[in-house]
């Protein structure tokens, strides 16, 4: 057994150490079995035939063409929740720095040269800003991060409204009963003093906060975006700041338009930059990759279903395929034609794609594997 892992970003050593014997890890591997990355964009990349999996050490997968990967039978993983606490802490920080004029105050104080103590007392009145206790926070997206923030804000004495039409059962279980459900974005826009976004960036969520949204918001609302820059329309929020509708914008995704703008605080994408999160994400990404390469079991994929079965039999075959009728029938017929008995099997689907694991009582023949590969809708066959 030997596998090659390519890294596209710096991945915490504690995670890479999990691969252990039989693995070569390099940032310039030509024909990797697996790729590990953080925010590097893979949209323009060619995928080598050797590539079986991609693991995003983090939450957002908008930097990976997940459908294109699925079509090639490449399983893409992320690490749900592994960096959520780091983002929660930065979101609370962001609410505070959007409210109290801490950043401006620090910059001003650093520019003082003489009679500093006296000048501080004279000048501090220009940096007054409101407290967050008693104010209304609107949380858009109640996943791993949104739930933690909503609960923390309740504990800080805020009134919290949450909006997530697709909330998972687990997330709902974790949410404080004090968090009120908003059934539409309008309610959040009209009531919130602070709005924080915790949704993925995709074609549906692009520009969630735009001129139409800002027009419905309370005057002076503070907006926090630690999710992705594209969720907020840059020109529209700058206009809303200029008009006084938005009282402050904190973004973890600076660009040329946002730098050095009054009312905008730019953070250099630090949401997940804590040693704890970097270790958690790397650990999960490495373990999910190792398990997939060595057993074919899928845990925490974003483009294929989760599908796990304990190893049994003398050989395992995994088939990534389209979610269309009669795939399992055709695969088992190909094996039966070669007198191969199936000891155990599992089939799961997710959207347009599905995955089948078969543990065999005898070793398959090249001919039967070729037959499975030739079935229309089969994307990738592995013999483990």
Ligand X SMILES: NC(=O)C1=CN([C@@H]2O[C@H](COP(=O)(O)OP(=O)(O)OC[C@H]3O[C@@H](n4cnc5c(N)ncnc54)[C@H](O)[C@@H]3O)[C@@H](O)[C@H]2O)C=CC1
Strand partners, 293: none
Q: Is 52 or 57 the residue whose CB approaches ligand X more closely?
A: 57
Q: Is 15 or 60 the residue whose CB approaches ligand X more closely?
A: 60
Q: Does 285 bind ligand X (CB under 6 A)?
A: no
Q: Does 199 bind ligand X (CB under 6 A)?
A: yes
Strand partners, 25: 5
| Binding-site member from 163, 194, 292, 304 for ligand X (CB under 6 A) | 163
Q: Is 83 or 297 the residue whose CB approaches ligand HPV more closely?
A: 83
Q: How far apart are CA 356 and CA 262, in angstroms?
A: 55
- The distance of Cα 108 from the centroid of its chain, to the nearest Å, equals 36
Query: How does DSSP assign 214-280, residue by residue?
Result: HHTSPTTEEEEE-S-GGGB-HHHHHHHHHTTSEEEEEESS--TTTTT-TTEEE--S-TT-SHHHHHH
What is the nearest approach in angstroms of ligand X to the Cβ of residue 255? 14
| Binding-site member from 95, 142, 179, 345 for ligand X (CB under 6 A) | 142
Q: Does 166 bind ligand X (CB under 6 A)?
A: yes
Q: Is 196 or 318 the residue whose CB approaches ligand X more closely?
A: 196
Q: Is 154 or 167 the residue whose CB approaches ligand X more closely?
A: 167
What is the nearest approach in angstroms of ligand X to the Cβ of residue 155? 19
Structure tokens at 357: 């694991």
Q: How far apart are CA 81 and CA 104, in angstroms?
A: 33
SS (H, E, C) 334-355: HHHHCCCCEEEEEEEEECCEEE
Q: Does 229 bind ligand X (CB under 6 A)?
A: no
CB 249 within 8 A of CB 264: yes
Stretch binding ligand X (CB under 6 A), from 111-119, 141-149, 216-224, 291-299: 141-149
Binding site for ligand HPV (CB under 6 A): 38-39, 58-60, 83, 269, 271-273
Judged by beta carbon distances under 5 to 8 A according to partner kind, the member of ligand X, ligand HPV, none in contact with residue 53 is none
- Closest residue to ligand X, Cβ-based? 143
Burial of 363 (0-12, 13-18, 19+ CB in 10 A): exposed
């Amino acid at each position: 057994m030997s596998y090659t892992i390519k890294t596209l970003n710096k991945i915490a050593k504690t995670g890479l150490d999990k691969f252990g014997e039989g693995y070569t890890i390099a940032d310039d591997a030509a024909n990797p079995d697996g790729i590990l990355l953080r925010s590097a964009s893979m949209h323009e990349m060619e995928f080598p035939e050797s590539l079986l999996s991609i693991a995003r050490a983090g939450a957002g997968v908008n930097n990976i063409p997940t459908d294109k990967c699925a079509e090639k039978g490449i399983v893409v993983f992320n690490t749900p929740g592994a960096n959520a606490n780091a983002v929660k802490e930065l979101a609370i920080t962001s609410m505070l720095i959007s409210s109290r004029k801490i950043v401006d105050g620090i910059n001003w104080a650093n520019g003082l040269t003489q009679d500093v103590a006296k000048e501080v007392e004279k000048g501090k009145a220009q940096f007054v800003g409101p407290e967050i206790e008693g104010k209304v926070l609107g949380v858009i997206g109640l996943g791993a991060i949104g739930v933690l923030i909503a609960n923390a804000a309740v504990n800080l004495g805020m009134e919290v409204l949450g909006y997530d039409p697709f909330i998972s059962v687990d997330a709902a279980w974790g949410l404080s009963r004090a968090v009120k459900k908003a059934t539409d974005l309008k309610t959040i826009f009209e009531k919130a003093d602070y709005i924080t976004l915790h949704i993925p960036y995709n074609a549906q969520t692009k520009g969630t906060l735009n001129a139409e949204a800002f027009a419905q918001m309370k005057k002076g609302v503070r907006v926090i975006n630690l999710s992705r820059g594209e969720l907020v329309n840059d020109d529209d929020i700058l206009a809303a700041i200029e008009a006084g509708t938005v009282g402050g914008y904190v973004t973890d995704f600076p660009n040329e338009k946002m730098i050095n703008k009054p009312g905008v605080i730019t953070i250099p994408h630090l949401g997940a930059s804590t040693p704890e999160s970097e270790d958690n994400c790397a650990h999960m990404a490495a373990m999910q990759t190792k398990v997939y390469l060595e057993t074919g079991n899928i845990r925490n994929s974003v483009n294929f279903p989760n599908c796990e079965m304990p190893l049994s039999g003398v050989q395992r075959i995994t088939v990534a395929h389209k979610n269309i009728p009669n795939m399992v029938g055709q695969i088992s017929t190909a094996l039966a034609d070669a007198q191969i008995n199936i000891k155990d099997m599992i089939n799961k689907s997710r959207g347009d794609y599905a995955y089948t694991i078969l543990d065999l009582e005898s070793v398959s023949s090249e001919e039967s594997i070729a037959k499975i590969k030739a079935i229309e809708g089969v994307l990738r066959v592995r013999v483990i």
